Structures are given as structure tokens and as C-alpha cells.
Structure 1
Amino acid sequence: MSEMITADLVDLDLSVDTKEAAARVLAERMVALGRVTDLEGFLADVAAREAQMPTGLDGGIGIPHCRSEHVTEPTLAFGRSAAGIDFGAADGPADLIFLIAAPAGADDAHLTILSSLARQLMNAEFTSALRSVGDAAAAAALIRGDKVAAEAPEAAEAPEAAETAGASGAAGTAETVGATGSEDSAAASAAASADAAAGSTAPAGAERPFRIVAVTSCPTGIAHTYMAAESLETAGRDAGVEVVVETQGSAGFTRLDPAVIAAADGVIFAHDVPVRDKERFAGKPTVDVGVKAGINRPGELISEVRGKAERGEVTAAAAPGTPVERAGDSTEGYGTKLRKWLMSGVSYMVPFVAAGGLLIALGFAIGGYEIKSAPSVMDHFVWTQAHSWAALMFQIGAVAFGFLVPVLAGYIAYGMADRPGLVPGFVGGMIASTINAGFLGGLVAGLIAGGVVMAIQRINIPAVLRGIMPVVVIPLISSAVVGFLMFVVVGKPIASAQKAMTDWLNGLSGTNALLLGALLGLMMCFDLGGPVNKVAYTFATAGIAVANPSDSAMKIMAAVMAAGMVPPLAMALATTVRGRLFTQTERENGKAAWVLGASFISEGAIPFAAADPLRVIPASMVGGALTGALSMTFGATLRAPHGGIFVVPLIGNALLYLIAIAAGVCVSTALVVVLKGMRKQAPEAAAGNGPATGAPATAERQQPVAA
């Protein structure tokens, strides 16, 4: 790997006024060296990271950074501004600006090197040397950790380990600063574990320092995570406190030794994303703040946690949160949690639908619809006969489909109650399949199973019985309760409701079918992969998630997939026929949208919808509704739950199906072009300074977006 920073990536006279301009100037140097392949795309990723949280730090430092698919190798660029640039720090503008670019797939070694710089920035001697260094080559050498020229003697002394190893370039950066990331956590954890063991055998009353364990994390996991760790460790040394930090960065994390946590007197969480396995730290005095507080005021945090320890304030030793709670905000309402519980089940079910549906569809395509009556391949399989292979695919797919309802119910319960919910959830889901309660039965069984387990977990159990609760008591009681309710109480009404819905779908024709297709098309295009889109998709896949789906269910699946393909294809076409209405980044996204749309990935239109939702979303919904209605009217059928144009051979009335998609794409394209054209004309008409067409692309991007 080449050096992360060279003289060509240093600008000691950064004469710009804004953080956006600073990022552009430094990024252009990366582009010139081939480290960044798409300037606008990379800057968009930098801006997106900046929007999550300002990257300015106290002490005059700006550290914009991101992981991006447009970065070819880990790269640093450094700029020094005499006037200072506002990066959102509380103490004012930054004069030292680092742009950190990490590839989207950066490995652990790359991220360790990047984290090394973050820790260096907490060293006052290092930042002082950067402010006084006189030329770009010396600045790059200083950042790399090389021996620097005499003009910056105060920074020339690299740590002894780096001198001994002769470190240089990217590796030198990591070695100069020392172990970081998971290695740093592991080493510190081992040392503290030894101290804890020694302390346990010390004479009673022996003095020992106050011990703190901390967790730091940030959305990107590249810079702030490690800067907060370094800041807390430095403040701990100054205060005579032992601080051991677990950095939960992008390269993963090494858990602190349980003995270290047990010996700690207090806990500090400095994080902007949920702390993983947070329950490990329950029952101790805890300070919970954002990651920037860990960087900017570590001494206050240490004092605060010591004060809580003196007052005996500890966090409740609660049971671990459920998967939904660990992934979200504890203040979320019940409605939000219910949606996440249901989506948890659906997300685990969909791969079974995709695998089973495609296998069954391939079986039909090769062997015809009579393949469902073929004997078991265990009894009859001829290697050279296509019919035998078709039967094999069909029968494997049918087995995969048999898991759908149990998996749905099991993982809804898992989302509610964690692993104890799996057994009653799967049991309830299998009962739903047995009594023909279908998809609706699976939903109800999962919710009942999760609720029963959560109720059992609230009971105060004697300590002697707690060990057998998760493996014996909870599975036994919850499965019995769920089984009773599904067989005796709610199973029959749900099965009747499922049958009624199936009969209604089978009876759809004419206007009813057209309206249903239009409604499903609107839902698929409303939030482009969001909850409403997923409801429509789940409704469709539930209909074909049987070995013998009805004709109406296959029509619904076809309409849903066709409508979901419209938004990205329409945006791709619009950027092709009227590229001047879109930014350079959007035009690049349009190229990818061709493939995403053709593959039935509605999310391909999200970048366009996020930039201009009031025009893109309505235009997409109109085209999607038209496509859904036409698909239902034409009687197109689809047995596969996914695949886009790649499963066209499996579609009934394929030609008319493609015409329906083309019609919706053309309508959405025309609407978005007209709406964006009106936006462009309005400012020009108001200014009275020229026609509504022909303005340069840069001018278009500067026009305000009308609401």
C-alpha cells in the first residue's frame, strides 16, 4: 500500500472560507493522485457524514471524514488555514484540517492506521508542530511519523518503537502512535485484568486507584471513536485514574475482559451509535454522553462518574434489551416498536420466499405445471432427464416454503423477547401452518409468543431457579400457552379470515383488479423500500408463499414487482433525456439506477427522492400506479418473488408485462422532467434575465428548490 499522505496531499495555505470548499480543495488533490475516482460522489459522502454530526474539535481542528466507494485506498489530506474555517466546534474555527478518506470496504489494518491519526490529534506537541512546520514534505513526514527535517525539531522525535522498527509510510503511522483499535483494547484489557487479579490478593485497606471502563463509538467509526478513547485515557492518567477503553469502531471491537469490567468502579459511555452489549456494564455508576463530550471534556466526565460512585448511584441491573431495543431509541413509542417487530419477522422470512419461490418457478419453467404432481425425487430421479431436475427444484422450493410461517412467527417473537421467544414463536408458527391459518396466523402467533415470554420475564424468580429459566421453564410454559391459544382460541377465526381473504383475491376481476393493482403500485413507490413499500411487498409474497398459489396471487406478485421497478428506471431515463435538470452526482446515480431498477431494487431511486421529494415521489407514484393497474389488467402472472427482468421467462404474458413497465416508466419520466423544468423556469422568470432553457448545469444547481 502506498503512503497515506505525501507532500502532494498537503496544502499549507488553505485560502477558502467554508468547510465545503476546504473539503473540495483537499479532495481535488486526492483525485489528482488517483486516490478518489469521483470527486462529486466522494464530496457527497463527506457531506452526508458531516450532516450526521459536525466534525470540528476544540483546539482548532477540523477532521471531515467518510467511508466511500469512490476511494481506492486509505488517504489523508492536510490543510492549514490562516483565517480559520468553521467546522462546528464550540471554541471557534479550525486552522488544522484533515480530510480522511477510507474505502467502503476498508479492512482492519486500514482502519487501525486511520485511528492512529485520531489519537495523534490529542497530542498538543503534535498539533503545535503542524502549526509551525514550513513545507509540505515536512508536514507529510510529521503526520506519517517519519523523522522530519530540522526546521521542525520539536516534532522530529518519533516514539522509540517506531525508530527501532524503522517504520515509514502508512505502517509507520500505526506503529508510531502505538496499538489502536481492537489491539489497543485487548492490550489494555489484559493489563487491567492482571491488575485486578493482583488487587484481589492485596492486603485489606491497601490503596488502589479509581478504575473506569469506557466505551467510545461514532457513526463512521474512523476518527471520533479513537480520539475520545485517547482523550479519556490521557485525562485518566492526569487524574491518577485507571481508564480502560473499548473502541467500537468500524473495524469491529474486542470486548473488555469481564474481570476488568467487574473490577471497575465506574463506566463512561461516549457514543453516537448504540453501545453493543451494553448490559455487560449494568449495576455500576455510569455517565452516558455523546462522543464529542468524551473528546472535549474528559476530565469532567471522570469527575462526574467518581461523584456518582461516592453517592452510590448505579444503573439498574436490568435484563439485556431485545434486538429491537438494542438497535433503536429507548424513547420509541409502541407503534414504532410494533412495526420493527413485524419487520424483524418479515426480514428473516423474505430470503426463504426468494429461495423457495425461485426454485419452484424454475421447476415450472423446466417441467411445466404438471411438475407439482411428480413423485418424490427420493423414489424416482434420473440424472439425464430434465423432468427429474425440474421435480427436484420444485420439491426443494416447496420445503423452503414450508418454513415461511414458522420463521415469520419465530423472528417476530425474537424481535420482542430475544432468544427466549424463538421456541414458542416457531411452535406457534408451525401450528398456524398446520391449521391453515397462513400468513395472518404467523403474525398473530409471533406477537402472542413474544408477549407471553415478556410477561414471564417480568416475574420475580428466586435466584436458585434463574439458571433453568431460559432453557427449561420459559420454553415449556410459553410453548404450552401459545399452543393452547393457537389451537383452541384464536386459530379457527384466523384460519377463517385467511380463507376469506384468499377467496376475495381469487374473485378479483375487471375494475376491482385494476384498482388493487393501482393501490399496490402507489404503495410500492411511496417510500421506495420503506415500511409502506414493505407492506405491499409482504402482502404479495404471502400470497405466493404456498406450493400451489392461486392465479390472483401470482397476478398481485407480478404487479408489485413491476411497480417497484418503475422509480429507479424512470430516474435513470430522466437523467439520460434531460441530464441538465440534474446534478453531476445525480447523473452518475442515474447510470446505476438502470441496473437497480432492472433488478427490482426500488431503493435505486432514493438519492433522487431525498434531493427532491416533492417532485420525484409523486411522479414515481403515478407511474407505479399505472404499471400496477396495467399489469393486473393484462393478467400478467409471476411465481418468483424477486428478480426483475432476469425472471421474465417465468412471467405469464411477458410481453404485455414489459409494456406495462415501459408505460409507467415513460409517464414517471415525463412528469419528473416537467416538474423539474417548472422549478427551473420559476426563478428565471422572476429574475427576467433570460429564457427558461439553456442555462449551464452549475447555474441550475444553484437555483433554489421551490416547495
Structure 2
Amino acid sequence: MKITELLEESTIKLKLDSNTKLEVIDELINILDSAGKLNNKEEYKKQILKRESEFSTGIGEGIAIPHAKTAAVKIPSLAFGIKKEGLDYESLDGTDAQLFFMIAASEGADNEHLDTLARLSSMLMNKEFKNKLINAKSKDEVLNLIDKQEAEYVKSKNHSTTSKESNISESPSKLVLAVTACPTGIAHTYMAADALNNKAKDMGIEIKVETNGSTGVKNELTDEDIQKADGIIVAADKQVEMTRFNGKKLIQVSVSDAIKDPEGLINKALMDDAPTYHSDKKVEGSNSDKKQRTGFYKHLMNGVSNMLPFVVGGGILIAISFMFGIKSFDPKDPSFNVVAKLLHDIGGTYAFSLMVPVLAGFIGMSIADRPGFAPAMVGGFIAANNGAGFLGGLIAGFLGGYVVILLKKVFSGLPASLEGIKPVLLYPLLGILITGAIMLLFIVNPVKAINTALEQWLGSMGTANKVILGIILGGMMAVDMGGPVNKAAYTFGIAMIAAGKFTPHAAIMAGGMVPPLGIAIATTFFKHKFTREERDAGKTCYIMGATFITEGAIPFAASDPARVIPASIVGAAVAGGLSMMFNIGLPAPHGGIFVIPIVSGNPLLYVFAILIGSFITAALLGLMKKPLDQKL
């Protein structure tokens, strides 16, 4: 996309009337609003001023680029104004601003739009181009100047891509690395990168700059780059990945400093006494760890990490409610307690009901950005309420995300004037419709059929071979951890309790406790095979497992299903088989450690069965999972 597709004659003013910074902001906003580019002028102004409060968008050398990315923008656009005599815009270098580009980026702006805006920011670093714009006599001349400069810029970038971005010399005399990032990731990120690149070229210094902009990380620094570097500059006003720089000479400044004084920063980074960066974290977030989190795994982890608070918070609230009595949340039970019901309702009825939709929604968002969130979340909600469980949620997440990717391709040919309706109308309407229809027509019913078949099969099996039945029931509890297979076994256990047969449900609860307990033990004894986040989550799995909340293992199963699910199934099956072998009976449908004292048979043998199964799962995970530094 060309810059002049975002800038048109109706949003250009050759002689601005304003005399102050606030006046020019208002004047440019009015130009955009009059051209029909905004949904809400006041909200857009609020976001512009919020951006200015972080630091001035007057970048110096006569240029100001006020900008905001917000849903208040109807159509991604540019407004341009000239104040030839200049005005005080609180610029970084103290000079008056003469050229004003106001960037209006919509909240759902795609990468093409954002790349175009970033290209404009970089082009403005050319002094000759700036002077020609200041002296432009007509709107048509402005557009022609921009088209010509953009063509030259793209040509020069294409010519220098290999040397600048990927092929660092094997033995450079001096190599500087840099990372640039600003809060909106539209203008300053790329201007700082160009300032550093241009100055390093003048100084005869080799440089590679990673940009963390709205379209994601570009020109990413590799572990090999970091190892070779003589100095590193991090010019950022938002969080960037820092642990990878542990032990390297590093200068950390605001992104505006890289625009103002790139030469000074490069010199400081190369000084012998430049400060050495020390991370307080183990370097497990480095590029080697990040490489594994791409594609399918990246999308999966995005859903899992956002689902985790619902699993942890809701599960622990349920566990606390059991302290008042196993059925104390039930108003019909003699042990009813108002506080227990409150805790159980918040944790079980509400927090847990959001778990699968949130998993699906954030998987979809990872795949297709924000437009993918709503279709995937609706699909997850359909899965959660129709017996498809968390596996159905995974399907819904990927389905919703890729449906939106398909829609983006279908509508890529629409005119630029219709760009604003894509994220607010076309993507949510058609994305939700298509995802929901596929889930209801093709996903839910087969899962229901499988669930029904499993229940019938278990019912016909009876208790003829109790140990085999215990192995099957225990293993089923770990197959999908709250999904249809798990629920089929659990429903069978409840039916057996109603029939006065308590041994099957004891095997079921033992099997259901093993996955989170086994994972918790694994994160304790095999720390080098789990990330810091996973080890922290593992601590809560002790509580989840102890209180028979199998769902506590879902985040681990979702992020590494090929290892976690088989290990959990084996351990749970052993626990279920041992429970049956020890002839343990459980008259309560839930409760974990709180109901172990009321089992029929030997409670210590029941605990032994659960622990054996849990340690088997932990040992298998320790054997199968690779250390973090060996993962691909």
C-alpha cells in the first residue's frame, strides 16, 4: 500500500491557522473528522493527547507526527499540514515544527497499513525531502513528492536488505545491535531505527536494528548476533525481551534519545566501561526458547497463558468451598453454608465456565489478531456448553482464527474506503457465523455421539473385571481432563454410586487426581524441563490435584499434548487399577483429600494408589520432556 492511499487532498492543508501545539492538534483532528475518517472525534483526541503525555511526538528538525491507534478511527488515514514559519511543539531538539503528519490508525488496522505508516516515519528522516514538502505550492505537489520519495525509499531498502538485515559480517571491526520500540509502534520505533542505521553507516560501524512495532518484531536479533555484538542499544518505551542480553554491554534509553542523538548512543555502547546488563531471570526467554514458540505452539500457548488465571482462581475457590463440607454449596444439603455456595458459584459456575471460551478466543486472536478473537471465543463457548470440553475449545480456537485469515484474503481486494468496515462488521459477522455453524453442524454432534457410546460401553462392562475397569476409568479421566471422555467416566461413577456400587467412583477420583499431582511433582523435581511460568503454575497443581480438580492439568496438556497426555493417562490408569485392587469404595461424588477419610476400605492404601500413579506420571514427564535449552 502506498502512503498516498492513506493521504488525500481532503486531508491536506498547506497553510495551518494554528499557533500552538494544542491548536494544531485540534485543527488536524477536525480535518480528519470533516473527511469522514473518524468514528468519534473526542475519543480520538483523547488518545492523541494520551500519546503526547508519554513524550512529545515533535521529533525535531521541524517535524511533528501526532498519532494514535484506536477504535475511534473509522478509516486508517493521514492528515498533513504545513506551518512554514513554525510553531512550538515541544520538540525533542527544541526547534519549532513546520511539518505535521497526524496518523489515524484503526484498532483493527492490518499489517499493510501499519507498515505504510512506518515507512512514512522513516522517509521523513531525509532532509531534502522535508525541505521540498515545506515549500510545496499545491496539494497535488505534496502527493507527487511523497510518491516519488516513497519509490526511492523502497528501492534503496530492497537494495540494502541483505547487508542491513540479515548478513552480518563474519568478522566486523565493530558490531552494534539495537532494539527500538515505542508505545504505539507506529512512528518513533522506525524513525529511531533509521536514525541509528544512517548514523552507523556514516561512522563506518556495522549495525543491526530490531524493531518492535505494531506489526510485530521485525529484523529479530539472533543468539549468534548477540554473541558477536560489541555493544547493544535498547531504545524503548515499552517492554521488550531483555533476558537474551544477559552479560552483554548494553545502553538502555528512551526511543526518543535514539532519534535525537544516535551517534552519542553508538559511541556509548562501544565504550569499554559501558554498563553490563544482568538479568534477574534465567535466560529461558532467549531466542532459543522463543524459536519453539512459533506457529501452532505459539497460538496454543497464547490461549493457555490467558486461560490459566481462570483455571487457578476458579479451582482454588472451589477447593476452599469444600472446607465447609463436600456438599455445603448445595442449599438442599444439611451442611449448606452461604459462604461455601458463594465460593463454589464464583469458582465453578462462573470462572470455570469461561475457561474454554477464553482458551479458544486467545488462540484465535494469536492466529488472526483481534478480529479472530470473537469468532473463536463464540466457538469455544459452543464447545463448552455442548459437551465438547477443552478439546472442542482447541478446535474452535484454531477454526475461528483461520476462518478470519480466510476472510482477510477474500476481502483484501476491497477499496481502501471500505477498510474501516472490515474489523467492525465483516470479520465479526461472518467469522462468528461460519465458526459457529461449523461447530454446531460438524463438531458438537460427533463428540456427543462419542460420549454416549463411551457411557454405554462402560455400562455394559459392569464390574466383571474390577482391576481392568479401574485401569480404564482412571485412564479416561486423564484423556481430555474435563472433556467428554473424562465426563463419560465421571457420569458412570455417579451412576454406580446411585446403584450402591462405590468402587468405580473411587478409581475415577484417583485417576482424576493424578494428572495435576503428577505434573506438580514433575515441575518440582525436573525444574530444568519447565519454564518459570510453568513451575509457578505447577505449585497450584498440588492444590488442584489434592482437591480432585483435573482441569488444573489442562494448561500443561494443551501446551505439550504429545507428552503430558500419555504420561497422565498411564499414571491415572495405574492409580485407578490399584484403587480397584485395594477394593476402595467412595460414596461421595467429589472432594479429593477431604473425602478420603470416608472411603470404605483402607484410606492409607487409597492414598498410596494415588501417589504411585502421580509419581509414575512425574517420572514419565521427566523422561520424555527435553530440557529447555534442547527444545526446537
TM-score (norm 2): 0.50
Q: RCO greater where, 1 or 2, for CA within 8 Å and sep 6 or more?
A: 2
TM-score (norm 1): 0.45
